[in-house]
Structure 1
Amino acid sequence: MLEVLKQLFSKLPNNPVLAGDFEDYRANFDQAVNFTRACGISVKDLSWTDDKLSEDEGDKIEKAFRFAGVEDPSKSAFQCLKWCHYLAPFIEAEFKRPVQVTIGQLWREDQPVFNPSWKNLKLWSKSGLTFKRIHDEGRSGINLHAWLTVDTGEIVELSLLSSLAVISPEQFSEYSGGVAWGKPGEILEGHRYYPMAVGREFAEALDKNSDLALIAHTPIELHTYSYAFVPS
C-alpha cells in the first residue's frame, strides 16, 4: 500500500534546461532510479565505485558482441533501446561489473537531440508507444535515447556513432559500427547525457503495449525492424 501511495503522490523532477543540469551524472542517475520505482517498476541500485574503464574494454565489448550473436554492429543505427536492452547482460558479464540500461535525453551543445519529458516516460511505461501517439505529437520517430551506465559512473554508447554514419556519411562513415565509452560529458565532444529511467524492466514496460518492436530476444530480432529513434 505504501508503494502505491508513493507512486500516486510522487512529484516529477524538473526537465533539464541549463548546462549545469548535466554536471552531476551520478546524482541524476540516482534520481532516475527513484523515478523508475515511482513508475511501479523495480530496479537495482547502482553502487558507485572509483574505478575507471580502460582502453581494453573494447576487446570485452567485441567478445560480448560475439556471444550475443551480433553480426553487424552498424545495424545498431537508430535502434538504441533495442541494442542496449539486448546487450546489457552480455556486456555486464564481460566487464564483470554492474551495467544498467539507461533511458533519457541527449543534447548537443545547448540543443536537445532527444528530450522526452518525465511525463512522457511515465505515460509510455504504462501504455506503450503507439503510431497514433507518435503522429499526434508531430514526430517521425521515438523521442528518446538509450545507453548503458556502468558502476564507474561512465557510460557505453552503442548506437550513436552508427546513427551519425547514416545521417552524415561524408563526415562519420568511418565510425559506422563503432562503440564509445567513458565519462558522459567527454565521450563525444559537445554531447550531454541526462538519465531519466533505468533498467531492462523499464525498457520491457515501454515495449509491452507499443506498436513498434522496441526490444529484441534473439540476434535475428536485433538486426531487423530498422526504424529511426529520431524527433522530427
Structure 2
Amino acid sequence: MSIAVSPACTRYQAALQRAITRTAELGVAVPTRMPVDGTWFTQELANELHRCLARHGLRLEDSAGQCLKWCHALVPILGEILGAEPLLTIGAHYHNGRPVFDPSADDIERWGRRGISAQDFAGRMGLNLHAWLTLPTGEFMDPTLMSSIAAFCDQPERAGTIVGGWLSDMDPVTHVPLAVGQAYAEALQRRTAVPLLAAALTREEMAPKMVLIAETGRQ
C-alpha cells in the first residue's frame, strides 16, 4: 500500500482550467475551487484513505477497471480526511506517449449531453475514458490506476498503490483533464443505461458492474 509521487506541471493546470470551462459550457454545475498552497499528496494521506475504506469493508485492490465509480465515491471521503473535497477529473491517460485512454473533447461533450451508448464500446474492451482526482493544491491523485495494471497486466505487486503528486511535462505517465466534477459523472449516469456509479459505499455497490479497461490492457 505505497504511493508513487511525480514532480510540478503548468500544462496540467492549463488543461484543468479548460476542462472546467468545457464542463460549465455543458450546463453542468462545476464545484468552486479554492486553490491552496503546499503538498497534500503524502504517504499518510494514502494510508488514511486505505484505513477509511477498510472500515467500510473495501479495498483499493478491488477497484481495477472501475476508475469512474471509485473516484466519484471517494470525493466525499477524501473531503472528510482533507477538510476540502478533491475535484473528480475525467479525461485521457497516456503512458510513455502512447494513448491508453484518449477520449476527445467532442466525446466528452457528446457524453455530457446524450450519455454513453453501445457504439462507444465498439472495437474496445471497455469505455474510452479515465477518471482520477485533483487535490485543492493542483496535485493529481489516481487511486485506481495501479490496481488496474495489477489486474490486467499481471503485476499483482502494484495492487492498492496510489499514484499522484505534481505531474511533470516529461512524466511517462500523463493525465489530461477534459471534464470535471461529480455533477458531470452523475449527468452521464442519468443519460446512460448501464451502471456507471455506486449508489452507496458498500461492497455490493462498489463491485464491478461494468469494466472500464483499455485496448492495451492498461487502465
Sequence identity percentage: 29
Q: 1:49-104: CA deviations, max 9, x gaps?
A: 2210232212321233245x242322210110000001111111101123010000
What's the TM-score once normalised by structure 2's chain length? Answer: 0.85
Report whether the alignment pairs 1:56 with 2:44: yes
Max Rg structure: 1
The residue that corresponds to 2:82 in the other structure is 95
Query: Which runs of 5 or more residues in structure 2 are unaligned?
Result: 1-8
Tell me the SS of whatever aligns to 1:24: helix
Q: Which protein, 1 or 2, shows the higher relative CO under an 8 Å CA cutoff with sep ≥ 6?
A: 2
1:230 to 206, 214, 218: 214
Equivalence for 2:191: 209
Matched residue, 2:163: 180
TM-score (norm 1): 0.81
Does 1:166 find its partner at 2:162? no
Choose 176-185 or 201-210, whichever is displaced more.
176-185
In the alignment, is residue 191 of structure 1 matched against residue 173 of structure 2?
A: yes
Alignment of 1:140 with 2:125, yes or no, is: yes
Do the aligned partners of 1:185 and 1:193 also contact (CA within 8 Å) in 2? no
Contact 2:71 2:143 in 1 (8 A): yes
Q: Distance in 1 between matches of 2:120 and 2:164?
A: 33
The answer to whether the Cα contact below 8 Å between 2:120 and 2:127 also exists between their aligned partners in 1 is no
Cα deviations by residue, 1:101-148 (Å, 9 ceiling, x for unpaired): 00001011221111101111111112111224422xx32310000000
Runs (4+) of structure 1 exceeding 4 A deviation are: none
Q: What code does the residue aligned with 2:46 have?
A: G
Aligned match of 1:112: 99
RMSD, matched Cα:
1.9
The separation in 1 between residues aligned to 2:175 and 2:10, in whole angstroms, is 10
1:33–1:198 CA contact under 8 A, matched in 2: yes
Structure 1 segments unaligned to the other structure (5+ residues): 1-21
Q: Judging changes above 3 Å, is the alpha-carbon distance between structure 1 residues 224 and 133 closer, same or farther for their aligned structure 2 residues?
A: closer
Question: Counterpart of 1:7?
Answer: none
How far 1:41 sits from its partner (Å)?
0.1
- Once residues 190 and 165 of structure 1 are traced to their aligned partners in structure 2, the CA distance between those partners, rounded to angstroms, is 18
AA paired with 1:178? T
Matched residue, 1:154:
139
Describe the superposition over 1:143-182 as per-residue Cα deviations: whole angstroms up to 9, x where unpaired. Answer: 000000001111111111011111222xx21111222231
Distance in 2 (CA, whole Å) between partners of 1:113 and 1:23 is 22
Deviates more, 1:202-211 or 1:140-149: 202-211
